[in-house]
A = this chain, B = another copy of it.
């Protein structure tokens, strides 16, 4: 029987609080520590935490906390199909979409691993038909572009992963189609995307689990209007990704429909048909399968009980130490890889929507800080932007660096004796040390206090498997932090109130305050 306890009831947490401020990074960071504070991850990645404000004693209390809060046992229960999303009475199965690590998960007689695999096989078959020209547009043109219409989890994850693998796919010769994305209800979003497409060669993917998402349905109609005006048959230019119970399911208005279910939340749905359709169409089903395999390998590593062999668990626990003991309110995600330009935006959703909560699993307000603000941009761009505050601001912001030895495309140029890729990596390395150690200077403007913690995830190159492992690492980190904080990380009730009030505005059934604001916009 698993115990669900608040963080501040734990003995290990009280111990942890007494260990605040033990570590001076500038004093402890040396080559030996860099070599030893390192954990292998899946798919050839590594997690290095030498520049985190921890030591052997803190790590040992974090290990105790992992045990006392039964973090791996809770993860096992999730894998075995227990109803972890209690608020909505749902299982949590995004890991199952990548591979099976626990018991068979059966719901209403249906084996869900088989269901996810079956949908993937259907998508692969459909993608092959599109690529071979067996399925074409309504004027007989081969499809060259795929446009995903979706918002939130149906947009950020798939978009970030598409951008992450595009140059890899071109270089590897597996690039099949360009992908674009329409998300915002602002009609200028759809206008711009549609204008950039050759419509007779464009396949749209409508993604909405419920089939009722306001933005997505509005954009569907927008696109169908444009297709009709171009003399094209919308039913032959659009597929749907939805749940089997949605109004979009089995609908002759779509060329094909692929299914997800309520056990995979939007922000975790890249591993389901939501990411599967667009990524398989863009890069081929094999690339998507490799992506999932990388994620599944990371999911397996996350079962390790020893926190020093479990990078997601360790990352989660160090983050809790930073948030709840050291009191840092934000975390920056800093990938030194242009391909990961939208990865921070995806993690912003994954993390802030999962753990941005003030009540525990039982609905009681918690007395400690939960999910931090997450933000980030790729390096070296960020260095010329917000790093000033990170180095010399009055608040400390923990940093998560990501970097790869090789670029994806392999094109490069040597200037002043080094390639751009080497410059990129040199900057990354330099920043870690600069943040941790700082630098004394008699000119106070040029003085760097140091003591700014960071971790580094690194690999040889950003392949589908590495990307899958990277994504799963962060998903599992978020899951473990949710367990530590005793939250339900898998619902998102905080988005509902806005929807209710929006309906009031659109229906005209407003109180005075709403009306006063609405009048500004002629509503």
Contact = CB atoms under 8 A, between A and B. Distances in A.
Given A380-B215, A413-B218, A518-B426, A420 B153 contact: no
A152 interface: yes
Interface string A82-126: 000001000000000000000000000000000000000000000
Contacts of A449: 358
Contacts of A419: 187
Interface centre among A195, A266, A408, A523 (most CB of B within 10 A): A523
A514 B188 contact: no
Nearest to A215: B380
Interface string A144-155: 000000011101
Interface in A451-499: 456, 458, 488, 491-499
B218 A423 contact: yes
A185 interface: yes
Contact of A153 (B371, B384, B432, B521): B384
B497 A421 contact: no
Given A384-B152, A386-B352, A505-B430, A339 B221 contact: no
Given A183-B381, A395-B329, A502-B423, A513 B31 contact: yes
Interface centre among A354, A418, A443 (most CB of B within 10 A): A418
Q: Taking chain A's interface residues, is the majority helix, strand, or loop, or is none over half, making it mixed?
A: helix
A468 B270 CA distance: 38
Contact of A386 (B353, B434, B446, B497): B353
A520 B458 contact: yes
Q: Report how many copies the assembly holds.
A: 2
Nearest to A330: B373
Nearest to A492: B388
Given A337-B188, A392-B357, A221 B413 contact: yes
A173 interface: no
B433 A494 contact: no
Given A221-B415, A413-B218, A502-B426, A516 B363 contact: no
Nearest to A376: B375
B356 A418 contact: no
B187 A420 contact: yes
A336 interface: yes
Contacts of A306: none
A517 B432 contact: yes
A417 to B, nearest CB: 7
A506 B416 CA distance: 9
Interface string A296-314: 0000000000000000000
Given A152-B381, A393-B358, A394-B369, A337 B186 contact: yes
Contact of A389 (B184, B445, B494): B494
Given A188-B407, A413-B187, A506-B417, A387 B430 contact: no
A513 B378 contact: no
B434 A185 contact: no
A411 interface: yes
Interface centre among A372, A501, A515, A521 (most CB of B within 10 A): A521
Given A30-B512, A156-B385, A349-B386, A392 B422 contact: no
A359 interface: yes
A438 B388 CA distance: 35
A225 interface: yes
Given A187-B413, A359-B447, A405 B494 contact: no
A357 B392 CA distance: 5
Contacts of A280: none
A24 interface: no
Contacts of A215: 380, 384, 423
A92 to B, nearest CB: 16
A31 B413 contact: no
A354 B371 CA distance: 27
B392 A423 contact: no
A493 to B, nearest CB: 5
A17 interface: no
B353 A385 contact: yes
A283 B418 CA distance: 37
Contacts of A1: none
B155 A498 contact: no
25 contacts: A34-B516, A34-B517, A152-B385, A155-B381, A186-B336, A186-B338, A186-B421, A187-B407, A187-B413, A190-B411, A190-B420, A345-B377, A357-B388, A357-B394, A373-B389, A373-B395, A374-B386, A383-B498, A422-B506, A425-B521, A426-B502, A426-B505, A428-B521, A456-B517, A456-B520
Given A184-B378, A365-B444, A425-B521, 4 more contacts: A359-B444, A391-B494, A433-B513, A445-B488
